[in-house]
A and B are shown apart, each in its own frame.
Chain A
């Protein structure tokens, strides 16, 4: 008997190949895509109420996007060869596209949009500050100091176009991550055409929840009153996307149960044993149903400001935990059962190894550190549209 193994596993299946770091990868890219889509609500769909979070959402997306490739890089057996994916990509591989999708999103969409949004302030800072600060902001102007009304109009037009391109790009970024899993026909837990769609909507849910919580926390730290119209609107959008996300996930579950193919008994057993805590309790109950109820009651009844804040924050926090659990259940859950459908293994997470708990925690803290730097460099609450609301 092999410790931690029940039934029969193929002998090379005992150890899991994709660790907690690969759980972080879809989680982080999901936050990026979701945050960006929330930002685009204001710009493209003219949802005025969410203006105070427009810049915050963009910076959140950037902070997480900069960290997104790190878990993958740390996971590779040969990180020094990762550039080969750019130089000699294998065109039939979904994974080979990551670098290109990532670079497209980072440079063409996010950096460009942020630059256009902040350009006026960057130029003003470059002209009014001194020393290193002046150098930094001068570099950020990229040599363009023209902030005349005509130039601003061009900025606005280009920014709009970038956001319009950005929405399908955000869909592509995370739908693509879902495809990486959904296209593995050897693994019935992953292999479903619904996977990219489920990933996309769960990404929107997590990104919106993250910006909502981050906005409230930032306001609290800055001792600035929260714009409740903004918070209510974000919560409403979170509710809508969550309903779609939950519907899709339930559709997947019902479909699997009703079809009951060869793998069903094995997967069902797994959900009732090894994944019970992370799937049923964390993902479905605490991470989905509770926040959905909290958000739903706010659509039906009017509560006091304090109660709404508390409910939104609880819902947001639980949502973030629930979506993390969802990523965990996909990535780790998909490797706990044998492809023979006759046995189950256990995931033993190391503490301090390269793919252990400590690097995972550090990688999750890193975006917040980057976020702090970005906020310092490009304050989302000074001037601009964010301040007006």
Chain B
């Protein structure tokens, strides 16, 4: 079949008209997003954890593991139990990340408390800084995520995280971590760990929402982040955090 220059111009012209009509229609109908649609730019997520409220039940670990199909032996969140005796290094344990809770204490006369841990979704994340291909990144709503279709599995980010929050997923061979249940956030839900905490020790917060309780808590309570000297801009704040916690 011979195609003349005239034919090419004809088809090209038609396509051009179709494309401009399509673009105009899209502008008319689709420019305004639905009012309840999730807009990343409107949020800046973090978490507040009240140490005094945590009872070490492990519900959060189980919920996270179930919700996110976390591979066995790895943890997107875990709970540590600290026991502190004066003049001695703290005794810390987290059996299987506390997915089954904790055994009874051998000694009850010591200062003891639980510390839930998860990715701190840092603003200046060392993990994001070191990723050689930018597979790990901070989303516009402040969540540190990993693109598993892009991650090389070099694990430089695992080394760079001061909090031990990352691991190599044994099946995908890419790095995996807490996503702050991003799939739930986008639907207006809270994280699995927060939803399943029986005492409300964990609270998902949105720093960009002026009505969020985080502002009142930060204004009136004494809070701290883990390893502040690392200057990572951690967005997981702890209330009643003991100085021994690492």
A-B pairs with beta carbons under 8 A, tally: 120
Q: List residues 133-191 of chain B with CB under 8 A from any CB of chain A.
A: 133-134, 150-156, 158-168, 172-175
**A78 / chain B contacts, CB cutoff of 8 Å:** 151-153, 173-174
Inter-chain contacts of A94 with B (CB < 8 A): 130
Tell me whether A185 is interfacial, beta carbon within 8 Å.
yes
The A76-119 residues at the B interface (CB cut-off 8 A) are 76-78, 81-82, 84-85, 88-90, 92-96, 98
User: Is A17 an interface residue, CB under 8 A from the partner?
Assistant: yes
Whether A11 pairs with B78 at a CB distance below 8 angstroms is: yes
Q: Is the Cβ of A339 less than 8 Å from the Cβ of B130?
A: no
Residue A340 CB within 8 A of the other chain: yes
Binds A, one of B5-13, B32-40, B90-98, B195-203: B90-98
Q: Are A17 and B164 in contact (CB under 8 A)?
A: no
Cβ of B75 < 8 Å from any Cβ of A? yes
Residues of B within 8 A of A334 (CB): 159
B132 at the interface (CB under 8 A from A): yes
Instruction: Flag whether B46 is at the interface (Cβ < 8 A).
Output: no
Asked if A11 and B92 sit within 8 Å, CB to CB, the answer is no
A17 close to B163 (CB less than 8 A): no
Contact code string A54-95 (vs B, CB < 8 Å = 1, else 0): 000000000000000000100111100110110011101111
The residue on B at minimum CB distance from A186 is B162
Q: Does A365 contact B (CB under 8 A)?
A: no
Complex Cα–Cα for A85 and B151 (A): 11
Which residue of chain B has its CB nearest to the CB of A95? B132
Q: In the complex, how many angstroms separate the beta carbon of B215 from the nearest chain A beta carbon?
A: 30
Q: How many residues of B contact A (CB 8 A)?
A: 45
Is there contact, CB below 8 Å, between A185 and B162? Answer: yes
A285 beta carbon closer than 8 Å to chain B: no
CB distance from A317 to the nearest CB of B (A): 32
A229 to chain B minimum Cβ distance, whole angstroms, is 46
Assess the A77–B159 pair: CB atoms within 8 A: no
Contacts of A9 in B (CB 8 A): 164
Q: Which residue of A lies closest to B165 (CB)?
A: A12
Q: Is B89 an interface residue (CB 8 A)?
A: yes
Residues of B within 8 A of A (CB): 74-75, 78, 80, 89-94, 96-97, 117, 126, 128-134, 150-156, 158-168, 172-175, 230, 246
14 A-B pairs besides A12-B165, A81-B152, A92-B129 with CB distance below 8 A are A8-B92, A10-B94, A12-B164, A18-B159, A77-B153, A77-B154, A77-B168, A82-B152, A84-B150, A89-B133, A90-B132, A186-B159, A339-B164, A342-B90
| 18 sampled A-B residue pairs with Cβ under 8 A | A12-B75, A12-B164, A12-B167, A17-B155, A76-B153, A77-B174, A81-B152, A84-B133, A85-B132, A90-B131, A90-B132, A90-B133, A93-B129, A93-B133, A93-B156, A98-B132, A186-B126, A339-B163
- A residues at B contact (CB < 8 Å): 8-13, 17-18, 72, 75-78, 81-82, 84-85, 88-90, 92-96, 98, 180, 184-187, 334-335, 338-342
